[in-house]
Amino acid sequence: MLRRFAACLLVLGPMLAPVAAAHAATGSELAETRAALAALQADDLRLQSVGWRLASGNAPFCRDAPMAIGLLMQDMAGYGRPDAIRSAAGIAGDVAVQASAAGSPAALARLQANTEILAIGDFEVANLPRADSRNWQRLLTLNEHLDRALSLGPATLTLRENGVAITREITGVPACRSRFELLDNGGRAAADGHRVVIGREFAGIEYAEQEFAAAVAHELAHNVLYHRLWLEENGRKRRNIRLTEREADRLMPWLLANAGYDPAAAADFMRRWGPRHDGGLFRARSHDGWDERVDYIEAELPAIRAAMTADGQADWATLFRREIAGPR
Ligand SMILES: [Zn+2]
């Protein structure tokens, strides 16, 4: 969350900096800010949509799969110039829709980008603590209210549409517990146990959707297999890192299959990404070579295809062979 906010400042900050405090934003400055916001939202939507397919499609096999609606919110307090973004988004308050993942309950309820959010259940956005240096906490609070409401039944969202407050009741569906965050700076893809974080400069973001989904699936695999927890308990020895990386690679096609993607896209991703990005010291020490990684991925495909043919789903919770005696 924190980094996400810093990231927003990075992308929109420079564009907003020339807007001198002494005069109001001109039409072209407003147009530039709108374009930057729209570009950020398009990238957010891409990640959220892929993440949603993976997290909801694999919910039957995740140990922890709470109700979710696929909604990403934005808080004006997270931007360097909240007023400029408020104007660009066309909202009066602080919180609005950033993206609704394709096919999610939020998208089906037509929660469009920049729709202002006034309340989640009984909790009014106006009751958030004043914006300060801990702004990331505000979105966390809103997400907690949303999660709690969804755990009890449909969540009631109060929105402002065409200047009028309206309410929508939205029912969640189970999704593996993981948030997906796009960072404006950096080209890394990472998982921290709770989140999958993808840098906007990550090479895989430009690949075809199912290959980008493969990269996201690798990171999600780390979370749903509780690798961080296991490494904390067993040590971040090179051998241990390699085992968790191999598991994440091998689980990629399973996660893809349950999300409705071609499981072979995991190998396609590795063939495209590997030769350019998987070299050097890093590869030699903690990861298998990219060609070995392709082999490990492809070795999973027959079992996945058999399961899909027999059951229409790939039950990795029972069929996936673990490399480590970790929790699932
Ligand atoms: Zn990894």
Per-residue pLDDT of the chain (328 residues; tens, 9 = 90+): 223 443 333 333 333 333 333 345 678 899 999 999 999 999 999 999 999 999 999 999 999 999 999 999 999 998 888 999 999 999 999 999 999 999 999 999 999 999 999 999 999 999 998 877 667 789 999 999 999 999 999 999 999 998 999 999 999 999 999 999 999 888 889 999 999 999 999 988 889 999 999 999 999 999 999 999 999 999 999 999 999 999 999 999 999 999 999 999 999 999 998 888 765 444 555 677 888 999 999 999 999 999 999 999 999 999 999 999 866 5
Whole-number Å distance, alpha carbon 144 to ligand 1 midpoint, is: 27
Token pair for 138: 């505000």
Whole-number Å distance, alpha carbon 203 to ligand 1 midpoint, is: 15
pTM over 0.75: yes
Whole-number Å distance, alpha carbon 195 to ligand 1 midpoint, is: 13
Whole-number Å distance, alpha carbon 236 to ligand 1 midpoint, is: 13
All structural domains of the chain, each given as residue ranges with its CATH number in brackets, are: 2-174 (2.30.42.10), 186-319 (no CATH)
Distance CA 98, CA 71 (A): 8
Q: Is 251 helix (H, G, I), strand (E, B) or coil?
A: helix
Whole-number Å distance, alpha carbon 14 to ligand 1 midpoint, is: 32
Whole-number Å distance, alpha carbon 142 to ligand 1 midpoint, is: 30
The H or E element containing residue 117 is strand 116-120
Whole-number Å distance, alpha carbon 221 to ligand 1 midpoint, is: 8
Whole-number Å distance, alpha carbon 219 to ligand 1 midpoint, is: 6
> What residue type is assigned to position 247 of the chain?
E
CA dihedral 253, 265, 60, 235 (to 10 degrees): 50
Which of 20-40 are b and which e, b meaning 16 or more Cβ less than 10 Å from the residue's Cβ? eeeeebeeebeebbbebbeeb
In angstroms, the Cα distances linking 108 to 69, 83, 105, 128 are 10, 30, 5, 27
Whole-number Å distance, alpha carbon 294 to ligand 1 midpoint, is: 14
CB 249 within 8 A of CB 296: yes
